[in-house]
Structure 1
Amino acid sequence: MATDNGGIRSGGGSGGEPESSDGLKTFGAVLKALRDEARLTQEQFAPLVQYSAAYIAKIEQGKRFPPRDLLDRSEEVLGATAARVLGAAARSLTRKVGLASWFLQWAAIEEDAISLFSYESSVIPGLLQPEPYIRALFDRRLPPLAEEQFEHQVTARLERQRLLAARPNTTFSFIIEQALLERRMAGAEVTRTLIDHLLAAGRLRNVEIQVMPLIQEDHSGFEGPLSLAETAENRWVGYVEAHDSSMLITDPKVASAMLQRYGKMRSQALSHQATTGLLEQMRGAP
């Protein structure tokens, strides 16, 4: 989501898109070489394997983990020999049990999802964070980020937020705890900017934001934050993060349970309209 937070919810890596690993760069270079050998541009190759040209470009740049379907579909386009080479390159990838590798997969799912749901109780979801709030979060990260890394993560987070406008046919649903607004992270001015940003995002036709009130005796979110994505094949995939670790959840039964909990929370939170009224009240006069 890329919860789209990398230790600071929905960012990946150390709060933004993960750095490319050598294995990912190697796989990307192999894919590019095989595509070039077949005399296909990215724009020609992408529809043949049922992915966007922009997504293929990110894989070739080592910025996305290659999905399993890509290998099968590439055999039909590039041939059996090329597919074996690509398969060997895929097997050589070193996949750490950690945030960056998991987030690469989630980011890929997120970009092509037809529905994206997120519940947060500790920090505003990454897709909804204005720049001052992003900077406040990274400024408080421990261990501290180097200046160049800090700016890289801020830029990556802002770039990722283009999903809201770039995918008008994707349904975005966010549930956030009222306590996150009452906390006034980084001060009143940053909080005011945050509220204005949430109000603007909530006006998009494909975005629904709901606040979970401070007092809610019937609350199904006690198991913690979660993200859910519905794929183009109408499969649900889950994603969870905590303290520099994360997990992609593909088991249909587990994803279904997460979806049930999220649905219950939607009924427990303030409606989209009531949330707008609360945000306007908290913001005060312009």
Structure 2
Amino acid sequence: MTHGTDGNESTYGTFGNGGAGRVEPDPHYNLKMFGEVVKTFRKRARLTQDQFAPMVGYSLETCASIEQGRRLPPPDFPGLADTILDAFGVILAASKHLTRRKGLASWFRQWAQLELEALSLYTYECRLIPGLLQTPAYARTLFTDQLPPLGDEQIEAQLAARLERQELLRNRPNTAFTFILEEHLFLRQLGGKEVTRELIDHILELSELRNVNIQIMPLVRHHHAGLDGPMQLLETPDHQWFGYLEGQEHGQFVSDPKVISALQMRCATMRSQALSLDKSKSLMRQMRGAR
């Protein structure tokens, strides 16, 4: 689900107790305190949220979410806000304590942070629909079925974090998102037929965004470059590439150029093996039952 560097020079940085549903919500997170600091200095500067948002280069929704303590600020936000609001370094100082995000696993937080400013993000999935493409009903099914079971508060925290993360697709129009999804992910009908229909409609809608490409890997495929499992590749603004691989109980962050090269080769081959964008849409409509 996520990856991030931790200063580890090794090929893989392992994040234990991971998995698509394993999280460790932290009740003592201080995003709300940071949001209050930003809001206080914004009001001191006599700026509305509508005026402040374009000044820092982020959407009104993103700035509102930060002030409400619902999302971690992008990496450059604290510095920009501190300068624009003449905050005497207070906002920057407060941002140094933002090490927790409620509803996100510790091993996923750094990857989620890198996603906020990525130039491109490639995702191949063979187990479940990626979090960025899930509907609330589909995501809730995943969290409800999690073993060991999660409490209601944990489920709600995870769902809120996932829905917030999905803002990336619309708030980052200059980031290229590419998804390769196995056909069987839809045929499984996780959550039931209605949940699946809603999911397909949602993914078809997202596929109309200029920065989102979604391809389906057909069920019958005589040659397949992705048999080693799911993977994600990410390009930073400095044109560095990182990868993320996920297993049942851990996630692995990949930084070794040789391994990244191999993952890029597999991803490029899978894109040629998967259905075209138009044929992928046609197949999804067919699976949904549309004429």
Q: Could you say whether these structures have the same fold, taking a TM-score greater than 0.5 normalized by the shorter chain as the test?
A: yes
Indicate how the Cα distance of structure 1 residues 181 and 153 shifts in structure 2: closer, same or farther if over 3 A, else same: same
| 1:60-209 equivalence runs, <5 A | 100-209=105-214
2:190 and 2:286 map into 1 onto residues whose CA distance is 18
List alignment gaps of at least 5 residues for structure 1: 26-50, 71-91
Task: Provide the aligned C-alpha RMSD in A.
Answer: 4.3
Q: Which of 2, 23, 29 in structure 2 is aligned with 1:13?
A: 23
1:127 and 1:202 map into 2 onto residues whose CA distance is 12
* Counterpart residue type for residue 108 of structure 2: F
With the length of structure 2 as denominator, give the TM-score of the two structures: 0.71
Structure 1 counterpart of 2:289? 284
Pairwise CA distance, 1:209: 0.4
With the length of structure 1 as denominator, give the TM-score of the two structures: 0.72
1:242 aligns with 2:247: yes
Aligned length: 276
Pairwise CA distance, 1:136: 0.8
Structure 2 counterpart of 1:227? 232
Q: Which of 260, 278, 285 in structure 2 is aligned with 1:273?
A: 278
Does structure 1 retain, via aligned residues, the 8 Å contact 2:217–2:275? Answer: yes
Secondary structure in structure 1 of the residue aligned to 2:223: coil
Of Structure 1 and Structure 2, which has the larger fraction of its residues in helix?
1
Indicate how the Cα distance of structure 1 residues 240 and 20 shifts in structure 2: closer, same or farther if over 3 A, else same: farther
Deviations 1:180-215 (A, max 9, x none): 111111111111111101100101111000010011
Does structure 2 retain, via aligned residues, the 8 Å contact 1:227–1:239? Answer: yes
2:130 and 2:114 map into 1 onto residues whose CA distance is 17
Pairwise CA distance, 1:221: 0.5
Secondary structure in structure 1 of the residue aligned to 2:116: helix
Indicate how the Cα distance of structure 1 residues 267 and 24 shifts in structure 2: closer, same or farther if over 3 A, else same: same
Deviations 1:48-95 (A, max 9, x none): xxx99x99999999999999999xxxxxxxxxxxxxxxxxxxxx9999
2:30 and 2:180 map into 1 onto residues whose CA distance is 36
Deviations 1:14-66 (A, max 9, x none): 6xxx53777999xxxxxxxxxxxxxxxxxxxxxxxxx99x9999999999999
Higher relative contact order (CA 8 A, sep 6+): 2
Structure 2 counterpart of 1:41? none
List alignment gaps of at least 5 residues for structure 2: 5-17, 33-57, 78-96
Does structure 2 retain, via aligned residues, the 8 Å contact 1:209–1:272? Answer: yes
* Counterpart residue type for residue 112 of structure 1: E
Deviations 1:253-284 (A, max 9, x none): 21221111111110110111100010111111
1:165 and 1:22 map into 2 onto residues whose CA distance is 26
> Identity, % of aligned pairs?
52
Indicate how the Cα distance of structure 1 residues 114 and 144 shifts in structure 2: closer, same or farther if over 3 A, else same: same
1:117 and 1:141 map into 2 onto residues whose CA distance is 26
2:126 and 2:231 map into 1 onto residues whose CA distance is 9
2:251 and 2:28 map into 1 onto residues whose CA distance is 18
1:233 and 1:278 map into 2 onto residues whose CA distance is 37
Indicate how the Cα distance of structure 1 residues 64 and 256 shifts in structure 2: closer, same or farther if over 3 A, else same: farther
Indicate how the Cα distance of structure 1 residues 20 and 120 shifts in structure 2: closer, same or farther if over 3 A, else same: farther
Secondary structure in structure 2 of the residue aligned to 1:234: coil
* Counterpart residue type for residue 252 of structure 1: P
Deviations 1:137-185 (A, max 9, x none): 1110011111111111111111110100000010000001001111111
